[in-house]
Chain A
Amino acid sequence: MKWHRINALLIRHLYLFKRSVPRLMDIFFWPVMELLLWGFISVYISKLNIAGFNAVTVLLGAVIFWDLMSQSQRAVSIAFLEDVWERNFLNIFVTPLRLSEFLASTVILAFVRILMVGAVMSILAALFYQFNFLMFGLYLVPFMLNLLIFGSAIGLFTTALILRYGTSAQVLAFGLLFLVQPFSAVFYPVSALPSAVQWISYLIPSTYVFEGMRAVIATGMLPTSLLLGAIIANIIYFVGLSWYFYRSFAVVKNKGKLLKLD
């Protein structure tokens, strides 16, 4: 992999972001609105004084984590869609750029996005709701990295589907993650799900992350088994979905449809 080519694609996105209000809104405005909405709900639930349940900590933690994963997925999918919308694939892929470099740039972009969104949401959560992520030390960081990887893997899958089935599949770039949300135990523990579907939850890496986040908040300790579960599930997903993406790219090249993604 050559860094100058990855860097070129990152710079291109920087150019796009610095003058695009909708793109900046996608990073800052919507996450902040979501934080405020859930923040008020959390404050209201707290006033109900439900024993043993710290609504602000659990719900705001979940909202921030969910948004980080969502940002990661969208960063990968939309970076790809930018080139579809601008019909720029030919220009990009007649350069020596490798597919792995293209993917690396989207994952780095996802990482930068979750850093920015994470920082903004954490600061606002601390200011408005006295919810301080740092009080859990660095225990939440490995879980956040797992969200980045899972979000990117789902982004790759979405991208592969758009490659194969055309831009009519682009709605998945904005909605696919919501298919896994009910099973990921984002706002409630897995035990709250009907026992018949709990096994589905444990097939999804994000379930271990959200369960892990709640365990860190409740005990102040690092739940190593949940972290290990997230890592193993993520490796399986990332390798599997990357293979599917490469395979889809090869199929599209073979069918001569790379430049016909309309």
Chain B
Amino acid sequence: MAILEIQNLVKEFGPVKAVNGLSFDVQEGTITGLLGPNGAGKTTTIQMILDLITPTSGVIKIFGLPMQKHREETLGKINFSSPYVALPGNLRVWENLYTFARLYGVKDIAKKIDDLADFFNIRSLLSRMTSSLSTGQLTRLNLTKALLNDPRLLLLDEPTASLDPDIADKTRHMLKRIQKERGVSILYTSHNMQEVEEICDEVIFIDQGKLKDRGVPAELVKKYGHKDLNDIFLEIARANEQEEL
């Protein structure tokens, strides 16, 4: 069952078409990689899914409901995390989590924060100022915030960017656990193709706002006759360069 359906999505910023007739879906309980070079339209697409940018045309359905008509209902069941979007540094970790739990209408807030603090091993950080956390700790805090409302769909924008290999590996394992134990569907952007191969059930390649290809990573590697996703990424990204030349 598709938990997210994008149909013929278009976003124009003046003469620039950032997203150009994009269609894809994300199946329930899967981790789907949304891949593409810089400027491909990944972030714009994610922001349209989150209703932060108004699409020029096209349909976004989440849980079968048109997003813009059911904004409150759908946003209550999805969440987002990105290392580029920090929680307010002038609040304590616990205060941030409490505020967002209330925004999501979480019932037993203390228990929810307790459970997630154990899951992400951030109990010792709860009383610290958010601004004092390291990058790895902030990533775990962002993921904790992203699970406060028990989302059915999680949008992750380069969740392991700027993490050292050890923390990045632990983060990937956490994401796998989230998917398996909580049945959360994840739409995942990353420029680390090795990571994408390791974690994603399916990948979607986009470039210049259009769908280029999609499929199971191993099958795509076989189809393109390359040794890994990285080479496929390069082929797709450079195809446009050649077209432009």
User: Which residues on the A side are within 8 Å of B80 (C-beta)?
Assistant: 90, 94
Binding site for B on A (CB under 8 A): 2, 4-5, 7-9, 11-12, 15-16, 20, 82, 86-88, 90-98, 250, 253-256, 258-259
Q: Which of B21-29, B48-56, B218-226 contacts A (4 or more CB under 8 A)?
A: B48-56
Complex CA gap A107/B36 in Å reads 43
The A-contacting residues of B in range 85-130, CB under 8 angstroms, are 85-92, 95, 98-100, 102-105
User: Which residues on the A side are within 8 Å of B85 (C-beta)?
Assistant: 87, 90-91
Q: Are B54 and A250 in contact (CB under 8 A)?
A: yes
The A-contacting residues of B in range 70-88, CB under 8 angstroms, are 71-73, 75-76, 78-80, 82, 85-88
Q: Are B104 and A96 in contact (CB under 8 A)?
A: yes
Q: Are B87 and A5 in contact (CB under 8 A)?
A: no
A–B Cβ pairs within 8 angstroms, 21 of them: A4-B102, A4-B103, A7-B102, A8-B100, A9-B99, A11-B98, A12-B99, A15-B92, A16-B91, A20-B90, A90-B85, A91-B145, A93-B50, A93-B51, A94-B75, A94-B78, A95-B100, A95-B103, A96-B72, A96-B105, A253-B53
User: Which residues on the A side are within 8 Å of B89 (C-beta)?
Assistant: 86
User: Which residues on the B side are within 8 Å of A95 (C-beta)?
Assistant: 75-76, 100, 103-104
Is B7's beta carbon under 8 Å from chain A?
A: no
Complex CA gap A8/B79 in Å reads 17
Is B230's beta carbon under 8 Å from chain A?
A: no
Q: Are A96 and B71 in contact (CB under 8 A)?
A: yes
User: Which residues on the A side are within 8 Å of B104 (C-beta)?
Assistant: 95-96
The A-contacting residues of B in range 18-77, CB under 8 angstroms, are 18, 44, 47, 50-54, 71-73, 75-76
User: Which residues on the B side are within 8 Å of A91 (C-beta)?
Assistant: 85, 87-88, 100, 145
Q: Are A88 and B87 in contact (CB under 8 A)?
A: yes
Complex CA gap A98/B75 in Å reads 11
Q: Are A97 and B54 in contact (CB under 8 A)?
A: no
Q: Are B87 and A255 in contact (CB under 8 A)?
A: no
Q: Are B102 and A8 in contact (CB under 8 A)?
A: yes
Beta-carbon nearest neighbor of B76 in chain A: A96
